[in-house]
Every structure is written in C-alpha cells, then in structure tokens.
C-alpha cells in the first residue's frame, strides 16, 4: 500500500537556476518565505497560506561574498539577511548596507589569521575550499545563533577551543553569550525551536569523523550547551519543539528523540528492518551489495507524522522512494505515490505539507497526503 501525494502548489524559482542555488521554502506556517541565493544576492519572497507569492513583497539582499564562501539566512520578517562567511558573520539590509559584523577565526583549516575583509583572501588559492559554519534566527527573529571558528577578535574561551557557538542580538550585533561547541566542523546547520527563541539545535558535520549534535539554551545571561550522545544529524523539530527527528551519521537509524537526545519510546527504526527491498533491484543481486539507508533529509509534516527518504540508496535501483510514518501507529513506513517520479529528497514544511524540487530545479512543488493507493 502507498499514500497518494496531492500537489498543492508549484512555486517558481526567483532566479535563473544556472546562476543560483536551488530555491527553498523556509519558515513556519503563517511566516513562509521562498528564498534563493546567488553569488550576488539573496532574494526572499513572502508566501501566503496557499504558498502563493504575496504581491509586491519580494526583497533582495546584496551578498558580501560568493555563496561558495559560507552560508546565509533571512530573518523571519525578511527585514535583514545574515551571512556566515569565512572570516565574519555579517548582517545586511536590502540596500546592502552592513548593519553589524562579528569577526572570528578563519574557516580555512590551516589559516590562523584574523582577516579584516573578504578581499584579503578572496584570490588566495589556499582559501578556495574552506570549511564553514552557519547561522540561524530564533523563532521571534530577535536573536541570531552563530556557529563560528574561534577565536573572536576579543577574548578567547580556552586555548583548545576550535569552534564557538554564539548568541547575537539581531538588532545591533552584540554578542550576548558564547560557548565552546566542542567540535571541529566541516559544516553545520541550525534548527530553531519553533516557539522558544532561547533554544536552538545545532547539527554539525565533521566529514568522516562524525556528526556531533548540540542543543543550546540561553537564559538571558549564560549559554548552556548539551552534547547529545552519538553521531546524529538533526533534521527537524516537531511543531511543539519537544521532539527531534534524527538520522545517524552512518545513515542506518532514523529516530524521534527528546531534547536530551533520548529516543522516545520505540521510535527508532533501522533502514534494513523498516524499508522493503527496492522492487527494481536485480533479482540475482546480493542484498548486502545494495543496502537500504536513510537520507539526511525529511522532517515533521505535522505533530505526529514524519516524511523520510531513501533516495541515495535507491539511485542504482530505479525510482527514488519517499516514506510517511505515523508515529502514533504501528503500521510502519508507507510509501508515497507521486503523479510522476521525483528526483530529490523531500523537505518537511509543517502544517501537513512537504516539498520537492522540480527536476530542472527551477520550481518548488508543495505536497500533502491524499489518501491510500492500492
């Protein structure tokens, strides 16, 4: 049995695909944005509840450096964009004016310089492929949480600190708190608590070395960081913020956990046990040669329903597969049936929806479940 996916909306990209990264829908229900980044700018388009663009509301933010040199986020109200670069975290308004900047250590592994400007290393061959951190806005947009390479230009946490986690006032750029992230990242992603601006998840990638997961709480004075046990990729938080969807670094286990990292009940699934063999896999093949494993993708469609995928392991067998699971029931994973084959992983949007990219990456398709298929 499978569940039919109903196409709710197709949202065109904001920039030509050869010049930009893929478009994505960000934000919770009621505050959704279509966001796309090129080397020169970020474009953000507010969307209504039906995922239609709001007339006259498109905002453009000039970028201070190319997109391969870091990550970026747009504020929930689209009033500013924050760029997490190789040497600094910078906030800009739609005119391109710098609102504030926090400089930090260089994300190129062997570099110990505290760079003053992007221009100081823009043409250096040894800085072409740096590691990177990330930033995330709090639920109310008043705070920016930033994962940076230490040290800051003022003060050192300890001689052994590589990466730092900061809480920054989004309005004026003051560093309100900082803590040792206890990691040496290749990249990272922030996952904000949907209602509490003083809590944040940080999913860190260290390449083959692991995937540390951190949970931060700021009480107005001090940042407390919990180091969750295991190498876990944080994909999504439930609408209430009390459940985490994770996939293990080895992509074998998908689980629902609390904010301490403890698996909730029996909500922990091995891909081999939960997902059937691909129907297009060669009959004579050894299953050990074609293992099934989870993508680092998906999330909470609503408070009790997850969407997950196995597209990476399906690639050699045929059509990519997505899965819905009701975490309150015992019937396991149910395949999603699309009108035509999909070519990417799913992204959970909440409110009962998820999205996929079009095959040409020039539009976002929005879906919801629409009943069982035979």
Mean pLDDT of the chain: 93
Whether 94 maps to a domain, the answer reads yes
The alpha carbon of 123 is separated from its chain's Cα centroid by a whole number of angstroms, namely 29
What's the pLDDT tens digit per position in 268-312?
A: 999 989 998 887 766 655 555 678 999 999 999 999 999 999 999
Within this chain, do residues 287 and 324 fall inside the same structural domain, yes or no? yes
| Mean pLDDT for the stretch of residues 93-114 | 95
Nearest-CA neighbor of 27 among 4, 43, 45? 45
Residue 179 reports pLDDT greater than 90: yes
Within this chain, do residues 150 and 280 fall inside the same structural domain, yes or no? no
The residue among 230, 245, 263 that closes a domain is 230
Within this chain, do residues 141 and 170 fall inside the same structural domain, yes or no? yes
Residue 1 reports pLDDT greater than 80: no
Instruction: Give the CATH number for residue 195.
Output: 2.130.10.10
The residue among 177, 195, 230 that closes a domain is 230
Residue 203 binned pLDDT confidence (cut-offs 50, 70, 90): very high
What's the pLDDT tens digit per position in 33-67?
A: 999 999 999 999 999 999 999 988 899 999 999 99
Within this chain, do residues 207 and 269 fall inside the same structural domain, yes or no? no
Whether 364 maps to a domain, the answer reads yes
Nearest-CA neighbor of 153 among 206, 92, 189, 106? 106
Q: What is the pLDDT of residue 139?
A: 94
Q: What is the pTM of this model?
A: 0.94
Retrieve residue 31's tokens: 């505050």
Q: What is the pLDDT of residue 109?
A: 87
Within this chain, do residues 204 and 142 fall inside the same structural domain, yes or no? yes
- Indicate the length of the chain as a whole number: 374
| Mean pLDDT for the stretch of residues 158-187 | 95
- For residue 53, give the DSSP letter: B
* Paired strand residues for 2: 335, 373
The residue written with tokens 């459940």 in the block is: 243
Within this chain, do residues 210 and 131 fall inside the same structural domain, yes or no? yes
Within this chain, do residues 79 and 218 fall inside the same structural domain, yes or no? yes
| Mean pLDDT for the stretch of residues 5-31 | 93
Whether 133 maps to a domain, the answer reads yes
Question: HSE on the CB side for 343, CA within 13 Å?
Answer: 8
Q: What is the pLDDT of residue 284?
A: 59
Q: What is the pLDDT of residue 304?
A: 94
Nearest-CA neighbor of 122 among 112, 131, 130, 110? 130
Whether 12 maps to a domain, the answer reads yes
Strand-by-strand arrangement of the 244-248 sheet: 232-237, 244-248, 253-257, 263-270
Angstrom distance (rounded) from CA 300 to CA 281: 29
- DSSP symbols for 198-249: TEEEEEEE-GGG---EEEEEE-SS-EEEEEESS-EEEEEE-TTS--EEEEET
Angstrom distance (rounded) from CA 149 to CA 133: 7
Whether 44 maps to a domain, the answer reads no
Angstrom distance (rounded) from CA 294 to CA 314: 10
Nearest-CA neighbor of 116 among 145, 155, 87? 87
In total, how many domains does the chain have?
A: 2
Within this chain, do residues 126 and 184 fall inside the same structural domain, yes or no? yes
Within this chain, do residues 74 and 202 fall inside the same structural domain, yes or no? yes
What's the pLDDT tens digit per position in 149-158?
A: 999 988 888 8
Whether 30 maps to a domain, the answer reads no
Whether 135 maps to a domain, the answer reads yes
Q: Are 49 and 29 in contact (CB under 8 A)?
A: yes
Within this chain, do residues 247 and 363 fall inside the same structural domain, yes or no? yes
| Percent above pLDDT 90 for the chain | 83
Within this chain, do residues 294 and 324 fall inside the same structural domain, yes or no? yes
Within this chain, do residues 194 and 312 fall inside the same structural domain, yes or no? no
- DSSP symbols for 108-122: STT-----S-GGGTT
- Domain of residue 84: give its range: 63-230
Whether 43 maps to a domain, the answer reads no
The residue among 230, 246, 266 that closes a domain is 230
């Amino acid at each position: 049995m499978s569940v039919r996916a109903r196409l709710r909306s197709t949202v065109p990209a904001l920039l030509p695909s050869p010049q930009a990264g893929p478009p994505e829908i960000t934000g919770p229900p009621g505050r959704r944005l279509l966001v796309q980044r090129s080397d020169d700018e970020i474009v953000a388009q507010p969307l209504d509840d039906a995922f239609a663009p709001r007339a006259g509301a498109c905002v453009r933010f000039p970028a201070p450096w190319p997109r391969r040199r870091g990550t970026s986020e747009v504020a929930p109200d689209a009033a500013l964009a924050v760029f997490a670069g190789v040497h600094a975290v910078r906030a800009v308004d739609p005119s391109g004016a710098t609102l504030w900047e926090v400089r930090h250590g260089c994300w190129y592994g062997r570099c110990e310089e505290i760079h003053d400007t992007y221009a100081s290393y823009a043409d250096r061959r040894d800085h072409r492929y740096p590691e990177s951190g990330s930033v995330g806005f709090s639920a109310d947009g008043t705070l920016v949480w930033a994962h940076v390479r230490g040290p800051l230009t003022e003060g050192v946490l300890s001689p052994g600190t590589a990466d730092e986690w900061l809480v920054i006032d989004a309005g004026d750029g003051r560093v309100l708190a900082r803590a040792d992230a206890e990691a040496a990242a290749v990249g990272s992603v922030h996952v904000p608590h949907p209602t509490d601006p003083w809590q944040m998840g940080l999913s860190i990638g260290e390449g083959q070395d692991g995937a540390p997961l951190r949970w931060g709480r700021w009480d107005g004075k001090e940042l407390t960081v919990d180091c969750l046990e295991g190498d876990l990729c944080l994909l999504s938080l439930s609408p209430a913020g009390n459940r985490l969807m994770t996939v293990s670094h080895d992509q074998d286990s998908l689980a629902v956990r609390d904010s301490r990292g403890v698996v909730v009940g029996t909500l922990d699934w091995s891909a081999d046990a939960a997902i059937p063999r691909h129907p297009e896999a060669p009959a004579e093949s050894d299953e050990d040669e074609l293992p099934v494993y989870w993508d680092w993708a998906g999330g909470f469609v609503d408070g009790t329903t997850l969407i997950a995928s196995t597209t990476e392991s399906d690639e050699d067998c045929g059509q990519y597969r997505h899965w819905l699971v009701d975490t309150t029931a015992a019937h396991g994973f149910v395949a999603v049936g699309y009108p035509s084959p999909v070519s990417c992983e799913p992204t959970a949007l909440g409110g009962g929806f998820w999205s996929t990219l079009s095959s040409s990456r020039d539009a976002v398709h929005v879906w919801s479940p629409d009943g069982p298929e035979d």
